Chains A and B, each alone.
Chain A
Amino acid sequence: MDACSPFELEVARLLVETLHLEDIKPEDIAPEEPLFNDGLGLDSIDALELALAISKTYGFQLRSDDQQNRQVFASLRALSQHIALNRVR
């Protein structure tokens, strides 16, 4: 299994903090593991909270009509790449 890059670990920390995932450590999240449904088991409420946290931290909005949305939320790796590409701070 792949290890997380430093930035992926940063996003994992944001994820764990925002969603108060008490029994999960940021470094436990496998970068290619699905975040929603199977895998980490996040849902649509978590996605909304995550989107709000991302906008606060990185200064850009995730849009629901984004064609790539499903890919963006697919895994920690995909999410981190999307943030890296779109962040303004």
Chain B
Amino acid sequence: MSQSWMKLPERSNTLALWLIRTIALHIGRPAGRALLYPITLYFLLTAGEARRGSRRFLRRALGREPTGREVFRHIHSFAATILDRVYFLTGQLARFKIEIHGGQRILDQAASGRGCILLGSHLGSFEALRALGVHRHHLPIRILMNTGHNQLMTRLLNALNPALAQSIIPVGGPETLLKVQESVEQGCLVGVLGDRAASGEKIVRCRFFGEEVDFPAAPLVMAALAGCPVILFFGLYLGGNRYQVHFEPLAERIVLDRRQRQEQLGVWVQRYADRLEHYTRLAPYNWFNFYDYWREDGP
């Protein structure tokens, strides 16, 4: 399994992230957004792997060779959502126009006292969703996150909102999913990003943009074992200060039979992959997997 997303250089982000945070909190969003242009340019020039990843994805999504401007726009859109994370994390929601589709479903789920799995992806910003849920509706949201490979983001989160940092369930160790299951039992909505499989993880092969891709099996196996619903979410960044959050039910309950488990999982994960492809086509510049996702270079 490709591990390159774990290896993507965090070092070049160090300065940029520090800058983004300082500017965001002390100088303001307009200045911050102006500075995104040189920051994007810096990324474009120094992060070769991310640039190639972007180009490969855009070629696939647009069906033609992307222009330099389009690659720039892709990376810029990523940088813009990182800047906005600072505002979301500090509860500054009034700055944004957030359009919500299917939000009642989440409110109903939370009101029922039953937990669920919120299945998302690295398309757009999950921070928009978390901010809405936590700051506006006080929902018990926890996110399962790989804090190890993204230590900088983790530090940023710790500095900006320690309470929220506490609500993260870190990936790692045999007890990880036990923790998720307990949280669901306590009525938490547990956010999981289901589009990147780590090495050695159980996987399900699905068609995605016309080719087979390995998706992690864990989110749906977890939901099956916990006997809880799965709700899909997509937080799309539309440019400027506009976001669009979508919620869709995937399954009220996933039942897996041991002998046909892989086939049954295949059906559910394919549904997820189809919805992910749908929203990725709607907002291609929100695709934030800047690596060789389709393994065009081989395994």
Contact = CB atoms under 8 A, between A and B. Distances in A.
A44 B225 contact: no
A2 B112 CA distance: 51
B262 to A, nearest CB: 11
Contacts of A63: 178, 182
A42 interface: yes
A41 B201 CA distance: 10
9 contacts: A20-B258, A36-B174, A43-B174, A44-B177, A52-B225, A63-B178, A64-B175, A64-B182, A66-B175
A49 B178 contact: no
Interface stretch (B15-23, B215-223, B233-241, B244-252): B215-223
Interface of A: 20, 35-37, 41-49, 51-52, 62-66, 69-70, 73
Given A35-B174, A44-B175, A44-B178, 10 more contacts: A44-B177, A47-B174, A47-B177, A47-B178, A48-B180, A51-B178, A51-B181, A62-B178, A64-B178, A65-B179
Chain B CB within 10 A, most for which of A37, A45, A73: A45
Interface of B: 173-182, 200-202, 217-218, 221-222, 225, 258
Given A20-B258, A52-B225, A64-B179, A44 B217 contact: no
Contacts, number: 57
Contacts of A52: 225
A60 to B, nearest CB: 13
Contacts of B200: 37, 41, 43
Contacts of B222: 45, 48
A65 B6 CA distance: 27
Nearest to B218: A45
Contact of A48 (B177, B201, B217): B177
Contacts of B178: 44, 47-48, 51, 62-64
A45 B175 contact: no
A28 to B, nearest CB: 21
Nearest to A35: B174
A48 B218 CA distance: 11
B209 to A, nearest CB: 27
Given A52-B225, A63-B182, A47 B175 contact: yes
Contact of A44 (B173, B182, B258): B173
